[in-house]
């Protein structure tokens, strides 16, 4: 048995648009507690705790720059310290992200095994997942590129397939014969019946050098751009920022198109561990506990004469009567009602929202920041009311606004407020006023969360009316 440590590489740049309205571009599905109290991202990290027995879990995480504080906070919550937290300045698909991770792993002459994982998949049988990884290690150590194929139990037309050279048996690695795009139903049924086809999971195991050697051979321009972006990267707090200009020159390709469909070194290891990519609301319904009528629900929900439906209530009571096969998802600012069989088409709604430049596609009413969060609870033509929560020890940037004044009322906790050159402590039921154009800052010096109500008034209330002078989170 090889003794080389396996370094998990977590790809967390997806948008999860098919799970709108819960999943938004600034807080996509991997960071949401869709099926448990922890997010899909956190569940992915938990699944890896026994990957290298006796060793710390120190993954390489490749993330969207907009999600950097979400990633850092969710790692902190479950006591995981990434070996590298790499920020992509622009999205360039999976092949460049994996290439950057491979370059980051090969420091000091090391050439570890990399376990490439999406951050938003579920497994009902984590030990079986780890068994398949162990079965793949010997082949990966020899320089092959291992992909994991999900053994299909029904003819799915929404996934790509991998054809092995022979029928699967146990966890034995088999030579990849072909990668196949999403089939029609008749072809999918033939694949399931044949015994040598598997769903393409998007998970891989290989040595860092083995992947980079193949990438150099098949897409030299991508390798060069990634190498340049890595060499011009800079450390910012706990993050590694890639060179933006260099990474922007990189072709945007998936690992399948860039390498796996071209290499002669690909093998597939079968994986039967209760996998679900949670790619649509019908998938969320599948993995949730269901009542005797086949309904799954989260939140304050009452159902009567309802069958085979999924209901998610975030902020208020949701009731269904005399219906079946529905998906109903309620959030503070949007409600989705869809037939369960149409849940793959939610992206069409998201595309229309994008075209109309609607804010509901980007963020929720509650927006998370590195210092805490704010919830826009009311607004009008020249005013907006927010509920602001500041974590203990956190501080908003030193800033000013050109078009709005602000009135802060502390509900609980203690605030240290700077307005101009003066500084004061503001406690429960006290308030302060910040005029237009005045430099100010807000800090929570206490041990408990600071809760306050902010009333904004002025001719323009957009979030881009912020001039930052100092910021402990590197946003100035």
Residue 3 is predicted with a pLDDT of 52
Q: What DSSP line would sit under 208-231, residue for residue? A: HHHHHHHHHHH-HHHHHHHHHHHH
CA distance linking residue 351 with residue 339, whole number of Å: 18
- Alpha carbon separation from 29 to 170, 205, 299, 330, 368 (Å, rounded): 32, 24, 17, 15, 15
Q: Which secondary structure element, helix H or strand E, spans residue 41, and what is its range?
A: helix 40-47
Distance CA 378, CA 383 (A): 8
Whether 300 and 208 map to the same domain: the answer is no
Provide the domain count of the chain.
3
Q: Answer yes or no: do 200 and 316 share one domain.
A: no
Q: Which residues pair with 6 in a beta bridge?
A: 113
Containing structural domain, residue 236: 6-276
Q: Which H helix or E strand runs over 127?
A: helix 126-141
Pair 17, 161 in one domain:
yes
Do 181 and 49 fall within a single domain?
yes
Q: Is 439 helix (H, G, I), strand (E, B) or coil?
A: coil
Spatial contact of 442 and 414, defined as CB atoms under 8 Å apart: no
Whether residue 341 sits in one domain with residue 439: no
Check residue 1 and give its pLDDT. 39
Q: Are residues 347 and 376 in the same domain?
A: no
Task: Return the pLDDT at 14.
Answer: 80
Q: Is residue 1 part of a domain?
A: no
What are the residues whose beta carbons fall under 8 Å from the beta carbon of 459, sequence distance 6 or more?
Answer: 382, 403, 404
pTM of the predicted model as reported, rounded to 2 decimal places: 0.88
For the beta carbon of residue 288, count every other beta carbon within 10 angstroms.
16
Asked if residue 360 belongs to a domain, the reply is: no
- DSSP string covering 142-168, please? TT-EEEEEEPPSS--SSS-EEEESS--
CA proximity to 157, closest of 123, 197, 189, 205: 189
Q: What is the pLDDT along the chain (476 residues), one digit of tens a residue?
A: 345 789 999 999 887 899 999 999 999 999 999 988 899 999 999 999 989 888 889 999 999 988 998 999 999 999 999 999 999 999 999 999 999 999 999 987 889 999 999 999 999 999 999 999 999 999 999 999 999 999 998 998 889 999 999 988 888 899 999 999 999 999 999 999 998 999 999 999 999 999 999 999 999 999 999 999 999 999 988 899 999 999 999 999 999 999 999 999 999 999 999 999 998 999 999 999 999 999 999 999 999 999 999 999 999 999 999 999 999 999 999 999 999 999 989 999 999 999 999 989 998 888 888 999 999 999 888 999 999 999 999 999 999 999 999 999 999 999 999 999 999 999 999 999 999 999 999 999 999 999 999 999 999 998 889 999 999 888 76
Looking at residue 274, what is its pLDDT?
Answer: 92
Q: Are residues 343 and 413 in the same domain?
A: no
């Amino acid at each position: 048995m090889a003794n080389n440590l396996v370094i998990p590489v977590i790809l967390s740049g997806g948008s999860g648009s098919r799970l709108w309205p819960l999943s938004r571009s600034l807080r996509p599905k991997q960071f949401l507690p869709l099926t448990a109290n922890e997010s899909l991202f956190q569940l992915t990290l938990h699944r890896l705790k026994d990957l290298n027995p006796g060793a710390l879990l120190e993954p390489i995480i490749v993330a969207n720059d907009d999600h950097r504080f979400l990633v850092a906070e969710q790692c902190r919550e479950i006591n995981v310290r990434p070996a590298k937290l790499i920020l992509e300045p622009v999205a360039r698909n999976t092949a460049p992200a994996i290439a950057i991770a491979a370059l980051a792993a090969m420091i000091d002459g090391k050439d570890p095994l990399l376990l490439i994982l999406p951050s938003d998949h579920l497994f009902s049988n984590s030990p079986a997942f780890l068994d398949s990884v162990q079965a793949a290690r010997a082949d990966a150590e020899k320089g092959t590129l291992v992909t994991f194929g999900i053994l299909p139990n029904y003819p799915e037309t929404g996934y790509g397939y991998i054809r092995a050279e022979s029928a699967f048996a146990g966890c034995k690695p088999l030579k990849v014969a072909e990668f196949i795009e999403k089939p029609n139903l008749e072809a999918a049924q033939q694949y399931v019946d044949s015994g040598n086809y598997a769903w393409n999971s998007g998970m891989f195991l290989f040595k860092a050098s083995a992947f980079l050697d193949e990438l150099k051979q098949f897409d030299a321009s991508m390798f060069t751009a990634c190498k340049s972006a890595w060499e011009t990267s800079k450390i910012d707090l706990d993050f590694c920022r890639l060179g933006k200009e260099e990474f922007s020159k990189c072709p945007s390709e998936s690992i399948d198109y860039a390498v796996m469909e071209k290499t002669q070194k690909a093998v597939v290891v079968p994986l039967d561990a209760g996998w679900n990519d949670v790619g649509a609301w019908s998938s969320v319904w599948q993995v949730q506990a269901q009542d005797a009528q086949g309904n799954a629900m989260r939140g304050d929900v009452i159902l009567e004469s309802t069958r085979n439906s999924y209901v998610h209530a975030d902020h208020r009571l949701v009731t269904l009567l005399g219906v079946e096969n529905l998906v109903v998802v309620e959030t503070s600012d949007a409600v989705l009602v869809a037939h369960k069989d149409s849940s793959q088409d939610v992206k069409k709604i998201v595309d229309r929202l994008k075209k109309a430049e609607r804010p509901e596609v980007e963020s929720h009413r509650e927006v998370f920041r590195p210092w805490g969060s704010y919830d826009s609870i009311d607004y009008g033509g020249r005013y907006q009311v927010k509920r602001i929560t500041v974590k203990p020890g956190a501080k908003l940037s030193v800033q000013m606004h050109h078009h709005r004044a602000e009135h802060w009322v502390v509900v609980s906790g203690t605030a240290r407020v700077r307005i101009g050159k003066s500084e004061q402590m503001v406690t429960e039921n006290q308030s302060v006023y910040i005029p237009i154009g005045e430099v100010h800052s807000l800090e929570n010096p206490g041990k408990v969360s600071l809760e306050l109500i902010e009333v904004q008034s002025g001719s323009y209330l957009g979030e881009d009316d912020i001039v930052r002078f100092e910021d402990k989170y590197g946003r100035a």
